Structure 1
Amino acid sequence: MTLALRRINHRRHVGRKEEMQGEKTTSDRPNDPGHLLHTGARHSDEKMGQSVVDFPVAVVLPAGGCGERTGLGTPKQFCSLLRRPLISYTIDTFHRVSWIETIVVVVAKESLDLMLHIAQKFHHTKVIVVEGGSTRHRSIFKGLQAFCARAGAPPLPRPEVVIIHDAVRPFVEEELLLQLTLAAREQGASGATRPLVSTVIAATSEGYLDHSLERAKYRASEMPQGFLYDIIYQAYQRCSEFDFEFGTECLHLALRYSGTNARLLNGPPTLWKVTYKRDLAAAESIIKDTLSMSACIISGALGETAELASRLQENLAAHSMTVDVFPCVKGKNELLMKTRNFIQISETAASLCETREMVKIFEEASHALLYPVVIVWVHLSMSEEPCPTEKGAELTTIMDISTTFRKTNILLYGIQVIHSKVPELWERSVERLSQITAALVRDRNPALTGQLLQA
């Protein structure tokens, strides 16, 4: 087996911890995929998990599939969502958990270099890349073998508990990981399950109904699953060639070959797996929805811009967006890291210099590394007949700097709004500004960057 051991030195991305959706949740949208934001509550939860999990934990991610059911030329785990491969989102799910020490990603031989590049580019410093096998179970076993002494390659520190997960299930909450890990340590194995949504039937060879199962008695087995390392490794050492070739259920191997009956936990609806092409669009939509939950308005010091900021804050709240307002960005570095959406209101194009300063802060903090940052520059024109020459100069400036920003995953949009003295016209302009801003933040469309829209 080829083992590519490579650790990329960089501080890892840490995000916000929100409450996990429970059984009563009716939406498939996770509270916070990737934990995009950073709060004090996140620190408290992380310390709690670290104090409870005082033993080594690792993750094995089999990612060697070819993704035939998506109908795409690229394996689904390497398909791009917001300029980032799907597998990077899944890795970050575990990377942000402080008590998880190592993430072994198992890929096909032809994908080794690509996976190493992804780990380096997105600063996944816990990742170890391993060449996989011809089937899912063979790949998992090779991932587990990375922790064993072998000739020609140093072993990784052996974990007490190992979590096995699918590379194409990007939305997992730390609370569930903690529950699975503790249950696995106590019981030897644990797994997440979900209620069946359809009745399971058996058909005859002629294509007729044979019998059906009573749906209430059965559950759908999901990922992640947790195991004592010695138990699952022993199971793979003992399993048959048939298991390696055709098996899919790790919990069954632990029961059959190690005599370990897994503890089953109720999983949230967010554990769904990207299987078909439409699932990629759904995953991207979930990420966009979460990214658009908050924004920051830089209002400027003038009364008119402050008034517009207040109105815009109120209107964006109607779009389920939490909005903070600050007169300027100077000295607000920590506050800027709480969101990835910014609306800057100004009466002159000179404020674009402040935009450049803000982007510099983002670049130094790698704030746009994992998720694109949106900046909506709003020009408040106090003249009801703005000068065409001035507008042309602003458009040229925005086009030029937006091209540079886009290379660093920062999307700059421009909107011009005229401060009308007619209350009805002004009200209409503010409402249109709110709608355009919300749409730009939600869609994150790179094709619209560098334009000066009219509200």
Structure 2
Amino acid sequence: MKTTAIVLAAGSGSRMKSKVKKQYLEICGKPLIYYALEAFEKSFIDEIVLVVPEDDLEYVKNTLLKPYNFTKIKTITQGGDTRYKSVCNGLRAASLDTEAVFIHDGARPFVNNEILSRALDAVKEYGACVVGMPVKDTIKIADSDGFAKETPDRDLTWIIQTPQVFLYPEIHYLYEELINKEKELISKGINITDDAMVMETLGNRRVKLVPGSYENIKITTPDDVILAENILKKIF
């Protein structure tokens, strides 16, 4: 099964409150985006599509491709003004003979081969899966006034991570449908926040949950950088 990883690094990282874009912040001497790319480079993944801000295309080629010799990066393409438009651009840039596509946030540096292998097995069996972990805490659903409205069963509640993995022809088609129906969905109050929702909303397919890792964190705030450095020190 030919596999492609779409690594998303097109955001601004405003919550990081840094002059340097989040994906280029140095963590233990290397830019954040390096770690996800290195994980895919060393895995069974056949090719990588890296999605970055349009203004950063040349910078990324010079700071990532040349120094670190990522041989699996097939192309670097520009992102859109929303996450799902960035994903769509990545899907358009993938090889057409791709069979399974792994969509991953570049701000999650601790994806590993064990997670990828579990996801590959699941997509072969179910056609669509997302990586995540069961929540450890009790979750409350709030009402519009900020009062606890209901408490979902903790045993049935997961934190969703990436990669999110799909059969390429199907997810590519559905993302094109999403772009075409964007205004209609917005008018109905449907807010697509991850790739699984595209499959669930437009593809009417159930998405399998696959165990990831509690260390598969997303770097969003300065506190996350400190946590990532501690995890890296433990790993290496």
The alignment's TM-score, normalised by the length of structure 2, stands at 0.89
Q: CA deviation at 1:163?
A: 0.4
Does structure 1 retain, via aligned residues, the 8 Å contact 2:50–2:90? yes
Which letter does structure 2 place at the counterpart of 1:119? L
Whether contact under 8 Å (2:123, 2:166) holds in the other structure is yes
Q: Which residue of 2 aligns with 1:282?
A: 227
1:138 aligned residue: 85
Distance 1:157 1:236, change over 3 A: closer
- 2:126 corresponds to 1:187: yes
Q: 1:188·1:231 contact (CA, 8 Å) conserved in 2? A: no
Alignment of 1:90 with 2:36, yes or no, is yes
Greater RCO between the two (CA within 8 Å, min separation 6)?
2
CA contact (8 A) 1:234 1:257 kept: no
1:83 is displaced (CA, Å) by 2.6
Per the alignment, in what secondary structure is the counterpart of residue 270 of structure 1? coil
- Between the aligned partners of 1:66 and 1:232, the Cα distance in structure 2 is 25
The one-letter code matched in structure 2 to 1:208 is F
Bigger drift between 204-213 and 120-129 goes to 204-213
Find the aligned partners of 1:189 and 1:103 in 2 and give their Cα distance: 19
Q: 1:267 aligns with which of 212, 215, 222?
A: 212
Matched, 1:241 2:188: no
Trace 1:5-84 onto structure 2 (pairs within 5 A): 55-84=1-30
Q: What is the rounded CA distance, in whole Å, between the counterparts of 2:235 and 2:161 in structure 1?
A: 23
| Structure 2 counterpart of 1:214 | 153
The CA distance in 2 between the partners of 1:221 and 1:205, in whole Å, is: 24
- C-alpha distance in structure 1 between counterparts of 2:113 and 2:233, whole Å: 21
Displacement after TM superposition at 1:157 (Å): 4.8
Deviations 1:134-180 (A, max 9, x none): 01110001000113xxxxxxxx3531000011101111221221121
Instruction: For 1:100 and 1:169, locate their aligned partners in 2 and report how far apart those are by CA, in whole Å.
Output: 17
* 2:23 and 2:32 in contact (8 A); partners too: yes
Indicate how the Cα distance of structure 1 residues 259 and 204 shifts in structure 2: closer, same or farther if over 3 A, else same: closer
Letter in 1 for 2:145: E
Q: Classify the secondary structure of the residue corresponding to 1:171.
A: coil
Q: Equivalent of 2:199, from 215, 240, 254?
A: 254
Kindly provide the amino acid, as one letter, of the partner of residue 144 in structure 1: L
Q: Which amino acid aligns with 1:289?
A: K
Whole-angstrom CA distance in 2 between matches of 1:71 and 1:196: 28
8 A Cα contact 2:6 2:87, kept in partner: yes
Shift of 1:255: 2.2
After the TM superposition, which residues 390-401 of structure 1 pair with which residues of structure 2 at under 5 Å, given as runs?
Answer: none
CA contact 1:169–1:274 (8 Å) conserved in 2: yes
Structure having the higher Rg: 1
Distance 1:253 1:207 in 2: 28
Q: Which residue identity lines up with residue 252 of structure 1 in the other structure? A: M
The CA RMSD over aligned residues, in Å, is 1.9
Quick one: distance in 1 between partners of 2:231 and 2:145? 42
Partners of 1:89 and 1:116 in 2: CA distance: 16
Contact 1:130 1:146 in 2 (8 A): yes
How far, CA to CA, are the matches of 1:203 and 1:115 in structure 2? 41
Moved more, 262-271 or 131-140: 262-271
How far apart are 1:120 and its partner, in Å?
1.7
| DSSP-derived class of the 1:198 partner | coil
- In the TM superposition, residue 65 of structure 1 has moved relative to its aligned partner by 0.9
- 1:262-298 Cα deviation digits (max 9, x unpaired): 221122212111111121122122223333xxxxxxx
| C-alpha displacement of 1:122 | 0.8
Give the structure 1 partner of residue 51 of structure 2.
106
Give the SS at the match of 2:27: coil
The structure-2 alpha-carbon separation of the partners of 1:209 and 1:58, relative to structure 1 and needing over 3 Å to count, comes to same
Task: Give 1:200 deviation, angstroms.
Answer: 2.8
Per-residue deviation at 1:76? 1.4
Query: Which sections of structure 1, spanning at least 5 residues, go unmatched?
Result: 1-54, 148-155, 292-455
**CA 1:277 to 1:206, structure 2 compared with 1: closer, same or farther past 3 Å?**
same
* Alignment size in residue pairs: 228
Identity %: 29
